[in-house]
């Protein structure tokens, strides 16, 4: 993060990259790079939570475009619930972090859920 990049700017960039992936304008590797903030080749819990929060924001805006994206504080219970449901399925070796290979499963899940949401609307 550069000296002049605010937290707000970063969140918006995160949403844009993830939205591009969901709309087939970006590949899974781009999301990986965007959310693996420390470039350590795994997503830790904080990075995964940030990704889940960002996905939930996008899904909420897709469902109700007239409202601003919900805050992290408002979404925290949903992020926690989703993490508890998804982490065991995504972190297949149970080491507490998500490798890129494991991340592919999450990418497929996100696309399927986004497609379901679009069909509902």
Query: pLDDT value at position 121?
Result: 65
Please indicate, yes or no, if residue 24 is contained in any of the structural domains.
yes
Please indicate, yes or no, if residue 2 is contained in any of the structural domains.
no
CATH number at residue 71: 1.10.238
Contact status, residue 48 vs residue 105, Cβ threshold 8 Å: no
Note the pLDDT tens digit of each residue in 8-57.
Answer: 578 999 999 999 999 999 999 999 999 999 999 999 999 999 999 999 99
pTM over 0.85: yes
**Would you call 116 exposed, middle or buried from its count of C-beta atoms within 10 A (0-12, 13-18, 19+)?**
exposed
Note the pLDDT tens digit of each residue in 53-97.
Answer: 999 999 999 999 999 989 999 999 999 999 999 999 999 999 999
Residues spanned by the domain of 81:
7-120
């Amino acid at each position: 993060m550069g000296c002049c990049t605010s937290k707000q700017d970063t969140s918006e960039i995160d949403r844009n990259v993830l939205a591009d992936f969901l709309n087939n304008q970006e590949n899974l590797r781009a999301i990986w790079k965007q959310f693996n903030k420390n470039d350590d080749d795994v997503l830790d819990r904080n990075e995964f939570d940030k990704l889940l929060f960002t996905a939930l924001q996008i899904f909420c805006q897709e469902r109700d475009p007239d409202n601003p994206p919900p805050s992290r504080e408002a979404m925290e219970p949903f992020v926690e619930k989703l993490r508890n449901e998804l982490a065991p399925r995504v972190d297949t070796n149970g080491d507490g972090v998500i490798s890129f290979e494991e991340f592919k499963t999450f990418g497929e899940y996100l696309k399927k859920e986004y497609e379901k949401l679009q069909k509902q609307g």
